[in-house]
Every structure is written in C-alpha cells, then in structure tokens.
A and B are shown apart, each in its own frame.
Chain A
Amino acid sequence: MKTGLLMQFVLNGLIIGTLYGMVAMCFVLVYKASRAVNFAQGEFLLVGAWMCWGFMSSLNVPFWAGFLITMVGMTLLGALIQAVVIRPLIGEPVISVIMVTIGLSVVLRGLTLWIFGPEPKSFPGDASGAKVQLMGLNIEAVYLWSTAAAVVGMAAFAWFFKYSRLGLAMRATAFNQQVAQSLGVSIQRIFIVSWAISALVSGVAGVVVGAVNGISPGLTLFGIKVFPAVILGGLDSIAGAVIGGILIGLLENLAQFVDGEYLHWGNLYVVAPFYVLVLVLMLKPYGLFGTKDIERI
C-alpha cells in the first residue's frame, strides 16, 4: 500500500472535487429557480476560459483585468441566453428545455472550436510549476489558488442566499413561484439573474481550471461530470451539489489510484462516476439531500 501516493490522490480529489462542486452548484441554482436543466454548463466553462484568454492575448491586459472583463461578459452572456433561448420555452415540456440547452451546448462548442481552434492553449505568462510543500505532499501552487477561489465562491454563494435581498427573493421563487410573485418578486428577473449568476460562476470556474490545466475543448467534460455530482447530492439541494461534487472528485481519483495500482484497466476514472450515477438512480433516485417528489392524485 503506497500511503503517500494514496494521500496525493485523495488531495487531488478534494481539489478537483471542490471545482466540481462549484459547477454543480450553478447547475442546481438554475434548476431550482427555473426548473430548467442546463446541459450547456460545461460549455459555459469553456466559453469563460476562452473569453479570458482572448481578452488577455488580444488586448494585452494583465490576468486580473481579463478576469474582470470575463466576469462581466459571462454575466451578460447568461442573461442573454436566458432572454433569447430559454424564455420562449417556459411552460413547455421538460424535453424541450433539455433539448434547447443541448442545442445551445453544440452551438457554443462549435463556435469556440471555430474561433479558437481545437489545440489546447495555456494562459500567457502564468506561474504554473511552482510547488508548495504541505504535510510532505507536493501541491502545485495554482491548485491551491483554485481551491481558494472555489471556497470563496461557495462562501459568497452562501452569504448571497442567506442575507441579500435578491438571494432571498430567489429562494422564495424556488420555494413557490406564485407566492413569491404575490409578494412582489419579479419572476422574470429572477430567472434572468439565476442564469447570469450560473454563467458567471461557471465562467470563473472555467478560467480557474484553464489556468491549471490549460484551455481545451476537454473542459466541457466538467459539464458531464456535473450530472453524477448533482444526482448524488440531490437535484435541488445546493449544499448537496457541493458535497456531491467533492465526493465525485474523490471517487474519480480513488478510481484512478485503484486502476493504476491494481486493475490496469485504463480509463476507469472516466466511467466510475457514471456507474455510481446509475446505482444512485436505482437505489435512491433523489440523492442524499434532494427533496422527494410526492405525487398526489
């Protein structure tokens, strides 16, 4: 048993898991607010990362400026997508909403491939490679930064929903749209804001992951990995999404460890989350923290 290696994998799992949790959180946010399932979540990451890269390389601005412009740009993109594509489908069956976001993901992926090309690129002049020693384990400094960013993002989320007026209005909408509306909450605005926030946070996650691993179309894998995370945590629980994300990140890295050490199957870590997904759906469809759908006749 290689304890050191195992610990390294566990740590990697925690780090990548917090990022999964962050993206899963956005997914759940949109689902809770507007009952829309966003299959284009992974593409939001990709667009955010490319947007930041594009601003930095074309305008020659430093990283923080590119990051800020990207945040503004992603917010606008999210709002625009909701207003143009999602709003006409309010009240349509679930398949229409799913399909429209799938269509959106295909368009966004095609567009980024067209504009930026399929080759992976890294951010100009970033400080990757610097390593930090922590309890005898090697950690790349960017990983620590990314985890810090994710934790800050989650804390901001928690504060937003607990104390801000808009956050409370969003929770009210998620709880009961009619009641929220009768209390003066503009549902339409809430929908727009939820998409904008979701795009914003996903874009930030995209930039963070892009800074660590380089930007490539592979970023969209995050969008697919979100599903095991949210199903495990429960589709309508934000805390569940975070925990599910961390668990999936851990599971993935443990699968990689077991695979590399004992099984030698190749890419077990890619599929392992999906076996878990199927198991969860069969045994406990509403996840760890999701509310159970009760049907009354």
Chain B
Amino acid sequence: MAGIAPRRCGDFRTQYQQEMTWFPSPRSAAFCVLGLALLLLAPLVLKNYGLALLIQIGIFGIAALGLNLVTGFTGQISLGHAAFYGFGAFCSAWLNNTHGVPVLLTIPLAGVLTAIVGLVFGTPAARIKGLYLAIATLAAQVILEDFFNRATWFTGGAAGAHANQPELFGFVFGTDARYFYLVLVALVLLYAFASNLMRTRDGRAMVAVRDHYLAAEIMGIPLTRYRVLAFALASFYAGVAGALMGHYIGFVSTESINILLSVQMLAMIIIGGLGSIMGSLLGAAFMVLMPEAVDTLFHLLSSGAAADKGLVYLKEISIGAVIILFLIFEPEGLAHRWRQIKAWWKLYPFPH
C-alpha cells in the first residue's frame, strides 16, 4: 500500500458537518479535479469532431441538469423543456442582433429572461401536480412553439435567426477549442451551483416536496413557492443551454425546437438518473453519443447510401427504445450503476 492513500471501506461520518461536504471523500474530490484537468487538456488531443461532441454533451448536460432540478429533485414532470431551451436561444440571438448587447452578456441574460417565462408557465404548478402538470407543460410547449413561428420580429419566423459568435475584448470564441472552454466554464459554474443548492435549505425543501409534499407542507415548507421556483430555475438552465447552443451553431431555427427534443431531454435524465446531479451529465453524454454509435454500427452493417433514409428513423427509434429499456431494467439510471461500482470498490476484497 505504499504511496497510495488507503481506500475508505465504509461510511465513517460522525458529524453533520461531514455530511454537508461537497465531496463524500478526499478521493472523489481528487477524481473530480483530475477529470477537470483532463478536460482542460482535451482540445490539445481531440480533433474537431471529438470537441464538437464534447461541446454538445456540455450544453445538453446543462439543459438536462435544469430539467433534473424540476423533475428529478422537485418531482414535477416537464414536457416543455425544449421550448424554454429554444426561448433562451432566440432571446440571446435577438438581444445581440437588435440591441447590440455583447454575446457573453446575452447568454446569462437570456437565462434570466427564460426564467421569467418559466415562472409564468410554472404558475399552474401552484394548483396542480403530477399528471395534470405534465399536460400543462405539454401545452406550454405547443403554445411557445406556435409563438416562435408567429413572432417573426423575435425569431425570424420560418427562416430562423442568425446568432453571432461570442467575443471578449476582441478575442473571438470562433473555433471549437475556444468555444469548448466557454462551455466548460458555464458547465462547471452551473453544476457547482446546483450541487451547492442541494446542500442548502432550499434544495432540501425541494427534495422534501418531491418525496412527500403533505409532510413537507406540514413541516412548514411553502409548496407553491418551491414548485414555481423549481420551474424558474429549470428554465434558467434551459435558457443558458439554448443560448450557448445557438451561438455555437450560429443559427437558431424554429424547426429544431420540437417535442422530440423535450423527450430527448427527459430521456437524458431518466438514463442518467432522476435526482442525481452527476447523472444529468452522464445521461447527456449517453444521449449525444448514442446516435453516433448507431450511425457507426449502421454504416458497418450496411454499405450504400440508399439505406441512409432508414438511419434517421433508426436513430429516432433507438431514442424511444433506450427510454423503455432503461425504465424497465434500470429505473435509477446510470448514476445508480456508478454508485454500485463505487460500493463494490469500497468493500473490494470482501464481498460484503
């Protein structure tokens, strides 16, 4: 064992202070720092294709974390997350194009404005919950989609909106490598905020609302406030993610903001694990990488461009199929698998 810090083989927490730490053990903190360092070096190793995937994972990771805050932590299903994501994207492009606000400012600003929109559409949560709320958010998706198509002054209508590249003192985030760092900073900030939130009174109140809202209310937690707050917070994350994606692609179209995107985001948090912060990122990575894997497999198994039409549908089918399979076989998601692996290591030579 020389040189290696001994592994901890169980929970030895004796004080609440220890429960409240960011990382369960120094080792997991070290892992996190190591992972971050590897990511910082990633642009030196990876080509544009790999970086583009990482950027997508990062952006969808942010959106999925927002959805997880409202669905996984507060227990309210939102079927309209893509609409908020789209609102953020359009909002940021609009602020920059018509009012000349620098892009680095419009991204958080778009998040704030989306949060306000989310607050409006979250107000039904004051009265209804569960299935009724899910249907209300579905209505939000349809209504916002219609708004995007109608409001040409805001979105450019069917033609879509142009989005400029972010710029800081003449330094343009034009290449994938530069944009990657921008996304990484946003990702780390927003993930740190969320994991910090879960250690506070507000975060725990949200979990209490999810677990047993009657008990929570009896303990003095204002249900309405936390339900609506969760919606606003989720919309903020969605808005920032949408804005980041819009300025990355350079173009926002109304067509990409559809209900399938909402379903994909829900799939991310289900695959990653409901109510798990790291799970949101894992799920986003899974959902971004899976179509690429399907693509590769498909081209391995069939040669010829004629079959390419089937590929689009095959990707769509695979999204639905993984949702079903995960719900039946691993409802707790990848985060749970990860915990099991960790638990196995904790006790390693001994089976129990």
Report which A residues bind B (CB closer than 8 A): 37, 85, 88-89, 92, 94-96, 98-100, 102-111, 113-114, 224, 227-228, 231, 235, 265-267, 270-271, 274-275, 277-278, 281-282, 285, 295, 297
Contact = CB atoms under 8 A, between A and B. Distances in A.
B132 interface: yes
Contacts, number: 122
B146 A100 contact: no
26 contacts: A89-B328, A92-B327, A92-B331, A94-B77, A95-B274, A98-B134, A99-B323, A99-B327, A100-B327, A102-B266, A103-B319, A106-B319, A106-B323, A109-B316, A113-B316, A114-B310, A227-B135, A227-B138, A231-B135, A235-B131, A267-B149, A274-B143, A275-B139, A281-B136, A282-B123, A295-B214
B20 interface: no
A104 B324 CA distance: 7
A281 B327 contact: no
B146 A270 contact: yes
B99 interface: no
Q: Most B CB atoms within 10 A — which of A105, A106, A265?
A: A106
A110 B313 contact: yes
Interface string B49-80: 00000000000000000000001000101000
Most A-side CB within 10 Å, residue of B313, B319, B324: B324
Interface string B66-97: 00000100010100000000000000000000
Given A102-B266, A106-B317, A114-B314, 16 more contacts: A88-B328, A92-B331, A94-B77, A98-B134, A100-B323, A102-B323, A103-B327, A105-B320, A106-B263, A106-B320, A107-B320, A110-B317, A271-B142, A274-B143, A277-B135, A285-B127
B160 interface: no
Contacts of A271: 142-143, 146
B320 A277 contact: no
B211 to A, nearest CB: 11
A149 B313 CA distance: 33
B34 interface: no
Contacts of A275: 139, 143
Given A267-B146, A281-B136, A110 B320 contact: yes
Given A227-B135, A270-B146, A277-B139, A99 B128 contact: no
B323 A231 contact: no
Q: How large is the interface on B (under 10, 10 to 19, 20 to 34, 35 or more residues)?
A: 35 or more
Question: Main SS of the interface on chain B?
Answer: helix
A281 B136 CA distance: 7
B222 interface: no
A278 B139 contact: yes
- Pick the 3 closest A-B CB pairs, nearest first: A106-B320, A103-B323, A107-B320
B136 A113 contact: no
B209 interface: no
Nearest to B322: A103
Contacts of A105: 320
Contacts of B139: 227-228, 274-275, 277-278, 281
